[in-house]
Amino acid sequence: MDIHERRSKIARRLAEEHTVNVGDLAMEMGVSGMTVRRDLAELERVGFARRVYGGAVHEAQRSFEPAVMVRYSEYAAEKRRVARAAIRLLRPGDSVAIDVGSTMMYLAEALRDAVDLRLIVVTPSMTIGRELSENPSYMVVVTGGVVRRGELSLTGDLAITAFRQFHVDRLFLSVAGLEEESGLTEYNIEDASVKRAMIASANQVVVLADRTKFGRTALCTVGPLENMDVLVTDVAPPAGLKAVLERNGTQLIIADDNGGGTMSERGGRRT
């Protein structure tokens, strides 16, 4: 169990039970009490927990957006399949923008140890930038901007301006909701603004979305479904959404257990 998975499990436990004990967590996860205390300190730093004697309690969030550490543990197997299928779209030497969010963290983990891709990566995520910097064959550019506490995403004019300087081959985009009428939506207005700049910078927009995003509309508009060239997901979309994707010429990839996916005949419009 790596550090992201461990901390997401602790965050999930806090969200469900509102209190955790250091000794119980250490025994369950096979780590030392000191390791658990460091995990709880990080959760406190991002505003998700408040440490108390012997453990921690859940701190109420000031946003409707679930914490990324909680989202990371939800539908983990599905997100991993989606990430592995998406990687197959890449070609050696590609320039690629990678968005923020839990699914993008799985994408970065899968890309970290990939060989022979020699990517140029631009990302507004401090977490993903650090993850991919471990691969010496990648050139990693992390945009400037204002740090969103907890998400470690970079927002504001600096991040938006950065993407205006680039023209990448592919964008891997995450969304909170994907619905026929409302299109692509996101929880946070600052993140949504950066996503729109990322879309404008890309020759091909690849949305990674598990089944929980279908039919959901979050607070902020990112763009219409027409902005999406490829959708990589874990199950077939509902009939109404699938019909819209077909009309738009959006390529649909349904990830399988082997790291590949069933691909529709329709391709991206801008590649």
Is 154 within 8 Å of 143 (Cβ atoms)?
Answer: yes
More confident residue, 100 or 58: 100
Predicted local distance difference test score (pLDDT) of residue 59: 66
pLDDT interval class at 66 (50, 70, 90) = low
CATH numbers and ranges of domains, the chain: 3-62 (1.10.10.10), 75-263 (3.40.50.1360)
User: Of 13-17, 122-126, 170-174, 217-221, which range is least confident?
Assistant: 13-17
- Does the pLDDT at position 112 exceed 70? yes
More confident residue, 19 or 194: 194
Phi and psi dihedrals of 84, rounded to 5? -65, -40
Token digits for 191? Answer: 């993140």
Token match 């690629």: residue? 96
Report yes or no on whether pTM surpasses 0.85.
no
Which tens digit of pLDDT belongs to each residue from 157-191?
999 999 999 999 999 999 999 999 999 999 888 99
Phi and psi dihedrals of 18, rounded to 5? 70, -10
pLDDT interval class at 62 (50, 70, 90) = very low
User: Of 59-73, 120-134, 173-187, which range is least confident?
Assistant: 59-73
Which tens digit of pLDDT belongs to each residue from 209-264?
999 899 988 889 999 999 999 999 999 999 999 999 999 999 999 998 776 666 76
- Does the pLDDT at position 92 exceed 70? yes
Rg (CA), the chain: 19
- Rounded to 10 deg, the angle between the 22-29 and 33-45 helix axes is 110
Predicted local distance difference test score (pLDDT) of residue 11: 80
